[in-house]
Structure 1
Amino acid sequence: MEMKIAVLGGTGLVGSQVVKLLGEHGHDAEPLSPSNGVDLLTGDGLDEGLKGADVVVNLTNSPTFDEKSPAFFQQTMDTMLAAAHRQGVGHAVILSIVGVDQVPALDYYKAKVLQEDVLKAGPIPWSIVRATQFFEFVKSVLSWTSDETTVRLPATPVQPVASADIARAVARVSAGEPLRGVRNVGGPEVFTLDELGRIALQAQGDPRQVVVDPAAGMFAAVPGSVLTAPADAVLATTTFREWLTTQK
């Protein structure tokens, strides 16, 4: 059955892939972003964009990862849910993070928990897709705590996944019945973050050394293995090394 699916953040890394996948499966997938007149903070263009939509998918992200991020998610979710309710949208989907509710020391993770809670308390039947860390973000993670000779990383266990595999999971959930629950998605392999860093640097021909530093970077605040996929997760098949060969 063809559905009209509005994808907020539909021009971003995951959103653009979700729009393409939904289109290939016969759905009318509309990317909504500031580039086509939809502003989720103010609500400008949102009612028009959601007119006739069966589903709204929110893949927008806070411009910062600090203490300002909760206000962004509160405002954008309130705006989206109010407009979706006015337009009779029957299903709202967001993308969140595996283990997000178990890392209270991180402002951004607290903000994403708030986003989930606003969705659950809202008037629209809902689904949450929680993903592990993206392969695409490994380079940024390395850059946070590096200098000319060394990259410092904690030995935090992670189970990263390709954005293409996350997009497939989001598209599948968006085209289905509301879960009123969480679908966890992870990659096929668990690494410590320092090990992942070494593999990435070697693939790029980068001679810098990775040093284990339990206090380095954002993921230093993560307890235990909460960022790895839980037992009920859907595991993707693309490995990190396979993905790296496509990035050259």
Structure 2
Amino acid sequence: MKIVVIGGTGLIGSKLVRRFEAHGHEALAASPATGVNTLTGEGLAAALVGASVVVDVANSPSFERDAVLDFFETSTGNVLEAEKAAGVAHHVGLSIVGTDRLPGNDYFRAKIAQERLIESSGIPWSIVHATQFFEFVPAIADTAEVDGQVRMPSAAFQPIAGDDVADALARVAVGAPLGGRLEIAGPDRAPMDAFFREALVALGDPRPVVTDPLAPYFGSVLETDSLVPVGPAQLGRVHYVDWHRS
């Protein structure tokens, strides 16, 4: 089976391509680095010839309000139109746990717009909602720094390893379309301030973590369960402490 991975040279995409190839599928990594530009449409039609499944894990290079919305609407729209022309039988999208609970967050708002395009495309679809990746922990801490302190709320946090995300996406991609969403998260849940306090120590980062209920997460003030599953979820196998040590 031919599977095209949009964003196939990135963090999750490259893991997916390796998994598909290891199981005997023809996997094509589609990204500007391989001559496929979903914003302009360059190379897209050729990449999708003969494809049965498309997994879209591409991400916006900018989180600015208008830019991120334009990226997901334009890129996803072009991909879906090309899929229709190519007769693709299953579209798999990667999104975020809690998109519907933070409508004021610019990035989440853009992901909601992307999900609506997928749902209304007429192509059989699946959407995987993931929590934050272990790999992004340092960057999240950096965005929360104020005057040398990392200010974090005590909202629940349940990050997941990139490998667990790729495993879940790969299983969904080779199965029947869900016509719905699968939520995935890491095996451990903790308050954000407590998690980052321990994580920064493990990283050798001397910045203190200060508990601040109003500290924004990429511009949004969090409720207790804003970023974690509130219903059934598939949990990853990898614990952060083990991942960090590996």
Fold conserved (TM > 0.5)? yes
Task: State the alpha-carbon separation in 1 of the partners of residues 125 and 154 from structure 2.
Answer: 35
Letter in 2 for 1:88: G
Shift, 1:77, TM fit: 1.2
Distance in structure 2 (CA, Å) of the matches to 1:213 and 1:24: 45
Residue 186 of structure 1 aligns with which residue? 185
The CA deviation string for residues 201-243 of structure 1, in whole angstroms up to 9 with x for no partner, is: 1112223211012232425522221311233211112111111
Which secondary structure state, in structure 2, belongs to the residue aligned with residue 185 of structure 1? strand
Residue 218 of structure 1 aligns to a residue whose secondary structure is coil
The one-letter code matched in structure 2 to 1:210 is: V
Deviates more, 1:63-72 or 1:234-243: 63-72
Within 1, Cα distance between the matches of 2:63 and 2:207? 27
Corresponding letter in the other structure for 2:223: P
- Identify the range of structure 1 (95-104 vs 140-149) with the bigger mean alpha-carbon deviation: 140-149
Alignment of 1:23-42 (within 5 A): 23-42=21-40
- 40, 47, 58: which one pairs with 1:49? 47
CA distance in 1, matches of 2:147, 2:232: 41
Normalising by structure 1, we get a TM-score of 0.94
**Which of 11, 14, 17 is the equivalent residue of 2:15?**
17
| Aligned partners of 1:126 and 1:180 also within 8 Å | yes
| Residue ranges of structure 1 left out of the alignment (5+ in a row) | none
Q: 1:36 and 1:97 mapped to 2: Cα distance? A: 26
SS in 1 for 2:117: helix
After TM superposition, give the deviation of residue 196 of structure 1 in Å: 1.4
SS in 1 for 2:111: helix
RMSD over aligned Cα atoms = 1.3
Q: Cα deviations across residues 94-123 of structure 1 (Å, max 9, x unaligned)? A: 100111111112011011011001000002
1:144–1:217 Cα contact (<8 Å) kept: no
The 3-state SS of whatever aligns with 1:207 is coil
CA apart distance, 1:161: 0.5
Q: How does 1:27-106 map to 2 (within 5 A)?
A: 27-68=25-66, 69-106=68-105
Identity of aligned residues (%): 44
Q: What is the 5 A alignment of 1:146-225?
A: 146=145, 149-218=148-217, 220-225=220-225
Normalising by structure 2, we get a TM-score of: 0.95
**1:61-94, Cα deviation, whole Å (9 max, x unpaired):** 1112231211211111110111000011111011
Gap runs ≥5 in structure 2: none
| 1:168, distance to aligned residue in structure 2 (A) | 0.3
Secondary structure class of the residue paired with 1:53: coil
The answer to whether the Cα contact below 8 Å between 1:103 and 1:223 also exists between their aligned partners in 2 is: no
